[in-house]
């Protein structure tokens, strides 16, 4: 840490830096040295002329003094009394031995021993060496950099005791807050931050008791932390604060009152911005927020009569239909080719097949006609049984894969059906800032000359610049107050969106008539702060109070109290579970299909009745009305034991042969 001068480190004051320092500047010996070091000429003495010394220079300085101290002790022993220590006029040290090898200096070991015995106090602390020549009993100081770039000692490290934390010696300078005066707190009326309190019957409110809200409670907590008295006052012009050359001080609103020293503190939903920070001081943010989008809540869409089809997409339903037809055709084809699907019929007398052709007494039959194949596939899809089944291996393979397909499909459909039928969906026209900027049907605006207005005006981001150009070209989208903007959102029938701070958006969405909602992400990140005039002695105290309230959870409790505990809207997760019961509108489609199927069945039955009556009348050569009457009597249960053939054929033409009677007795049952 000492290798970097203080003047170079100070620029990193906002960064959390921890380092080691070996030079203890609090010791008198070090202070005296630094006084002389500072007076030296930096041209002749490198690194001099500064108020501190680097660790490298301090260690070099101590090393020289260790050598000096060791040689002084050695010379006191007079090792040169035989003329063998110095070079001039003495034997000295022969570096060019005639023997061809270099021998150690006889005094080298003595010097090494004297170096290890040196003990002194240097710039880097106590200097002492072990028998192996390693330094011991030295101390390193662990330091941290504070927000004002001061180096604070937080711990010590020594080779004997290791790491030892110490209490930081840095103490924040006491702020000179006057306790015997009443501070003026300017604010602005805006729900739920500051509201005029409604008195009870016969109650007279005065002073700060006239107000209630989040900022009122926050002011009480801060005043309690600081031990001061305050008086709440509503800002005269009803503005937050923007540059205005027409007013004294160049700023209007609450910012202007602080600039002109008309107020001591501003506690309101005032956004911390760089422009305002130039003329006033802000505390740490007591609430984090961002610009959000408020729109009118769309009407919940009632489920359609065919909403039971929603668990599967249209593409899947189309694929299912084609799969059903394809399976039926493949089953019909393999049944035709496979000999195991054909069976021999032994008939007595003549046999007429469904096509009207006369067959022999011995005939081949196949159960899987195209209609029966369609019926088998439909029965399997509906998880029902069927009176026919494939006999061949190929037919059974077709049936098996179709059963597996329908098993997975029906299981997936059933799993999603409940979720789709019990949820009423809201389709918002806008879901993100990108949606808002890419259309012109829904207008959008913000508070005129507010922080949001200033954000869009100054933004260099392409999306937000595009939104600013749209709003600036349509001045009517700007509103003078948030109440006006919220009213426009509610009355616009979904054709106006308000760009508003997220806390205000959340609060309005919890108030009756509960017809607004927040959509999309926040467009930026910023915060509300408590403002004071530049250089105010209250600034540091308010800063610490806000941080303490945030860490203690008091600010979270305040927000819950004024936002969510006082909600006037019912949320879906709090309503009665009966709300999710299926209604008739959810499943009306299946009733329509049932009724339609029954009607179609009746129509088909009537057509079969007419067709069969016509066929019998033609065969028996009788009037159609007589044939229909006979069929009608059979339908209502009269004469079921009467042979149809005997009725249609005149009595004088009826043969007495039993075989002929048998040939005509099955004409009604074969369809």
Which residues contribute to the annotated binding site? 269, 271, 276, 451-452, 501
Cβ-based burial of 45 (10 A; exposed 0-12, middle 13-18, buried ≥19): exposed
Count, residues in the chain: 671
Give the N- to C-terminal CA distance of the chain in Å, as an integer.
103
Output the CA angle 584-586-588, nearest 5 degrees: 60
The backbone torsions φ and ψ at residue 422, rounded to the nearest 5 degrees and listed phi first, read -105, 5
Output the CA angle 36-37-43, nearest 5 degrees: 125
503 vs 509: CA distance, rounded Å: 10
With contact defined as beta carbons under 8 Å apart, do 312 and 419 qualify? Answer: no
Measured from the Cβ of residue 568, the count of other Cβ atoms closer than 10 Å reads 9
**Residue 94, token pair as written in the block:** 């022969």
DSSP, collapsed to helix, strand or coil, labels residue 135 as strand
- Residue 515: closest CA among 485, 486, 483: 486
The backbone torsions φ and ψ at residue 238, rounded to the nearest 5 degrees and listed phi first, read 70, 25
27 vs 125: CA distance, rounded Å: 9
Output the CA angle 602-607-608, nearest 5 degrees: 95
The backbone torsions φ and ψ at residue 412, rounded to the nearest 5 degrees and listed phi first, read -65, -40
With contact defined as beta carbons under 8 Å apart, do 149 and 197 qualify? Answer: no
Torsional class of 616: left (φ above 0), alpha (ψ -120 to 50), beta (otherwise): alpha
Dihedral Cα 655, 659, 663, 666, nearest 10 deg: 110
> In the chain, count of helices (H) and strands (E)?
21, 23
Q: E strands along 547-599, which residues?
A: none
Q: E strands along 370-453, which residues?
A: 443-445
The backbone torsions φ and ψ at residue 439, rounded to the nearest 5 degrees and listed phi first, read -135, 165
126 vs 623: CA distance, rounded Å: 135
Contacts of 588 (CB under 8 A, 6+ apart): 305
Contacts of 23 (CB under 8 A, 6+ apart): 2, 30, 52, 53, 55, 58, 123, 124
394 vs 389: CA distance, rounded Å: 12
Dihedral Cα 156, 148, 261, 240, nearest 10 deg: -100
Q: E strands along 75-190, which residues?
A: 120-122, 125-127, 139-145, 151-158, 162-165, 182-187
Contacts of 639 (CB under 8 A, 6+ apart): 630, 633
16 vs 444: CA distance, rounded Å: 43
Q: State the binding site for L-glutamate.
A: 269, 271, 276, 451-452, 501
Give the DSSP letter string of 175-221: P---SSSEEEEEE--BTTTBEEPPPPTT----GGGGEESHHHHHHHH
Contacts of 118 (CB under 8 A, 6+ apart): 66, 69, 70, 73, 127, 128, 129
């Amino acid at each position: 840490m000492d290798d970097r001068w203080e003047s170079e480190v100070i620029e990193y004051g906002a960064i959390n830096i921890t380092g080691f320092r070996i030079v203890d500047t609090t010791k008198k010996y070090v202070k005296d040295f630094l006084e002389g070091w500072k007076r030296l000429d930096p041209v002749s003495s490198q690194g001099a002329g500064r108020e501190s010394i680097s660790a490298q220079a301090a260690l070099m300085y101590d090393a020289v003094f260790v050598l000096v101290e060791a040689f002084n002790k050695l010379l006191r022993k007079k090792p040169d009394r035989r003329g063998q220590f110095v070079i001039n006029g003495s034997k000295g040290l022969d570096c060019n031995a005639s023997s061809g090898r270099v021998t150690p200096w006889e005094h080298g070991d003595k010097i090494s021993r004297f170096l290890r015995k040196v003990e002194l106090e240097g710039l880097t602390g106590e200097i002492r060496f072990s028998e192996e020549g390693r330094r011991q009993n030295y101390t390193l100081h662990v330091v941290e950099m504070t927000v004002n770039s001061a180096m604070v000692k937080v711990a010590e490290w020594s080779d004997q005791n290791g790491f030892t934390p110490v209490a930081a010696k840095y103490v924040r300078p006491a702020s000179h807050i006057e306790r015997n005066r009443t501070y003026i707190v300017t604010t602005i009326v805006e729900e739920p931050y500051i509201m005029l309190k409604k008195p009870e019957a016969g109650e007279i409110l005065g002073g700060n008791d006239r107000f209630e809200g989040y900022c009122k409670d926050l002011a009480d907590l801060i005043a309690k932390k600081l031990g001061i008295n305050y008086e709440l006052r509503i800002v005269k012009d009803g503005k937050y604060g923007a540059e205005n050359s027409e007013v004294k001080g160049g700023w209007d609103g609450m910012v202007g009152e602080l600039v002109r020293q008309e107020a001591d503190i501003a506690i309101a939903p005032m956004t911390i911005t760089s422009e305002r920070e130039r003329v006033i001081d802000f505390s740490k943010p007591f609430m984090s927020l961002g610009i959000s989008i408020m729109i009118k809540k769309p009407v919940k869409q009632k489920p359609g009569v065919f909403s039971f089809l929603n668990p599967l997409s249209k593409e899947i339903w189309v694929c299912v239909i084609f799969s059903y037809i394809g399976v039926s055709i493949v089953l019909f084809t393999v049944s035709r080719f496979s000999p195991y699907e054909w069976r021999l019929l032994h008939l007595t007398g003549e046999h007429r097949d469904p096509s009207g052709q006369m067959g022999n007494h011995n005939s081949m039959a196949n159960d899987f006609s195209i209609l029966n194949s369609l019926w088998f596939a439909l029965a399997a899809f509906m998880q029902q049984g069927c009176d026919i089944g494939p006999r061949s291996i190929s037919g059974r393979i077709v049936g098996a894969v179709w059963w597996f397909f329908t098993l997975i499909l029906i299981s997936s459909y059933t799993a999603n059906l409940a979720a789709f039928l019990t949820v009423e969906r809201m389709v918002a026209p806008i879901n993100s800032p990108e949606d808002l900027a890419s259309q012109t049907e829904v207008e959008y605006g913000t508070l005129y000359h507010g922080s949001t207005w200033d954000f869009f005006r100054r933004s260099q981001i392409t999306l937000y610049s595009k939104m600013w150009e749209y709003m600036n070209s349509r001045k009517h989208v700007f509103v003078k107050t948030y109440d006006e903007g919220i009213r426009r959102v509610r009355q616009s029938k979904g054709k106006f969106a308000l760009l508003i701070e997220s806390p205000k958006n959340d609060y309005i969405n919890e108030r009756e008539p509960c017809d607004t909602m927040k959509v999309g992400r926040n467009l930026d990140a910023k915060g509300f702060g408590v403002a004071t005039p530049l250089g105010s002695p209250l600034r540091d105290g308010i800063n610490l109070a806000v941080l303490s309230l945030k860490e203690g959870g008091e600010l979270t409790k305040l927000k819950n109290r004024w936002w969510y505990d006082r909600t006037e809207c019912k949320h879906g997760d709090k309503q009665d579970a009966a709300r999710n019961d299926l209604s008739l509108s959810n499943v009306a489609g299946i009733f329509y299909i049932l009724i339609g199927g029954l009607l179609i069945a009746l129509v088909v039955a009537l057509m079969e009745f007419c067709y069969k009556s016509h066929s019998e009348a033609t065969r028996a050569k009788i009037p159609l009305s007589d044939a229909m009457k006979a069929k009608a009597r059979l339908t209502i249960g009269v004469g079921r034991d009467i042979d149809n053939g005997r009725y249609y054929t005149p009595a004088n033409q009826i043969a007495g042969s039993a075989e002929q009677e048998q040939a005509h007795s099955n004409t009604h049952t074969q369809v």
